């Protein structure tokens, strides 16, 4: 037979149940274990501690990048200030460049466009014998470059850099057919050049000049009067005079005056009748004139 349990054992086994005699703890391997050796010293239940708090250097609920974030924020602020300052400097530099290069160039172009003198223009003028001998006013037509009315001579539309499509090569000038009145001095010779101030291409501060090369006719209309230098010649037919009697011939001068010239009875073909001082001036605009000769071609 088996020996009976000791009394102390029986007492321990059948002792009343004590709820604080057992405490559930979490083992490191995640399994539950019973620990009856320790009793709670407090009436409040104990909270299980985090086993990783002693094993990990990371502090619970604390951002490990907090310090770096603050530094990054301050750095971003400093970088932002630098970028802002750089942007302001760039804007100021761009404005300065625009004022200096673009606006300055535009003003310089405007000044150059406004200070370009007009070029001289050359043309020819044909005048009659009467005009070359007596002088007068003759109209001449010629091409002239004038300031463009669209862009006012700037080559660009107002307040813009857009090229003017009306100008020639954006020079601010357009070609226009103009008419000038040329004052031909008495006695002008064929091949002489007359100058008209300010009648050339337009510009600033002054317009160019117009140079007119004269091509004068040596024979008048109808071939009645011929010019040789300062003298004039006209052919006449004389009625055959009676023996020992003088005769006369009716003639016309370059001014258009008519008169009678006396012809001697012994006049021959080739002889010339002269009117002194009724030819062309010896110098352009001069008061001294040559003679007008009337040559007898037939009797």
pLDDT at 158: 75
| CATH number of the domain within which 286 lies | 2.60.260.20
Examine residue 55 and state whether it is found in any structural domain, yes or no: no
Q: Does 40 have pLDDT greater than 50?
A: no
Q: Does 247 have pLDDT greater than 80?
A: yes
Examine residue 37 and state whether it is found in any structural domain, yes or no: no
Specify which of 10-19, 83-92, 218-227 reaches the highest per-range mean pLDDT: 218-227
Measured distance CA(179)–CA(122) in Å, rounded: 13
Q: Which of 79, 114, 149 is the last residue of a domain?
A: 114
Tokens representing 115 are: 């200070």
Examine residue 201 and state whether it is found in any structural domain, yes or no: yes
Q: Which of 48, 80, 114 is the last residue of a domain?
A: 114
The domain in which residue 254 lies consists of: 225-298
Q: Does 81 have pLDDT greater than 90?
A: no
For residues 203-216, average pLDDT: 92
Examine residue 28 and state whether it is found in any structural domain, yes or no: no
Examine residue 12 and state whether it is found in any structural domain, yes or no: no
Examine residue 33 and state whether it is found in any structural domain, yes or no: no
Q: Is the peptide bond before 185 cis (omega within 30 degrees of 0)?
A: no
Same domain? For 173 and 251 the reply is no
Strands (E), the chain: 24-26, 32-34, 121-127, 136-147, 173-184, 193-196, 210-216, 225-228, 231-237, 247-252, 258-263, 272-275, 292-298
Residue located via tokens 């606006």: 103
Q: How many domains does the chain have?
A: 3
Q: Which of 76, 98, 114 is the last residue of a domain?
A: 114
pLDDT at 267: 83
DSSP assignment of 170-209: TSSEEEEEEEEEEEEPTTPPTT-EEEETT-SS--SS----
Same domain? For 141 and 101 the reply is no
Examine residue 31 and state whether it is found in any structural domain, yes or no: no
Does the pTM surpass 0.75? The reply is: no
Residue 92 near residue 99, CB atoms below 8 Å: no
Bridge partners, 213 (sequence order): 124, 193
Measured distance CA(196)–CA(207) in Å, rounded: 11
Same domain? For 131 and 198 the reply is yes
Examine residue 293 and state whether it is found in any structural domain, yes or no: yes
């Amino acid at each position: 037979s088996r020996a009976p349990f000791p009394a102390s054992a029986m007492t321990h086994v059948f002792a009343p149940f004590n709820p604080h005699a057992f405490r559930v703890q979490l083992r490191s391997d995640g399994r539950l274990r019973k620990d009856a050796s320790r009793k709670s010293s407090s009436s409040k239940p104990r909270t299980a501690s985090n086993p990783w708090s002693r094993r990990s250097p990371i502090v619970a609920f604390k951002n490990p990048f907090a310090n770096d974030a603050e530094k990054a924020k301050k750095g971003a602020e400093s970088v932002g200030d630098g970028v802002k300052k750089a942007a302001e400097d760039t804007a100021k530099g761009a404005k300065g460049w625009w004022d200096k290069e673009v606006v300055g160039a535009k003003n310089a172009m405007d000044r150059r466009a406004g200070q370009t003198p007009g070029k001289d223009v050359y043309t020819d003028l044909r005048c009659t014998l009467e005009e070359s001998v007596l002088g007068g006013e003759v109209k001449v037509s010629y091409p002239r470059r004038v300031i463009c009315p669209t862009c006012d001579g700037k080559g660009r539309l107002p307040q813009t850099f857009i090229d003017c499509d009306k100008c020639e090569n954006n020079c601010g000038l357009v070609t226009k057919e103009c008419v000038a009145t040329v004052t031909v001095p008495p006695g002008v010779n064929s091949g002489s050049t007359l100058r008209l101030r300010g009648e050339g291409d337009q510009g600033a501060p002054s317009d160019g000049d117009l140079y007119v090369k004269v091509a004068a006719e040596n024979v008048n209309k109808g071939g009645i009067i011929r010019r040789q230098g300062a003298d004039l010649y006209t052919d006449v037919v004389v009625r055959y005079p009676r023996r020992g009697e003088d005769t006369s011939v009716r003639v016309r001068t370059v001014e258009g005056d008519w008169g009678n010239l006396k012809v001697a009875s012994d006049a021959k073909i080739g002889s010339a009748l002269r009117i002194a001082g009724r030819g062309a001036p010896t110098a352009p605009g001069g008061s001294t004139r040559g003679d007008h000769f009337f040559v007898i071609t037939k009797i």
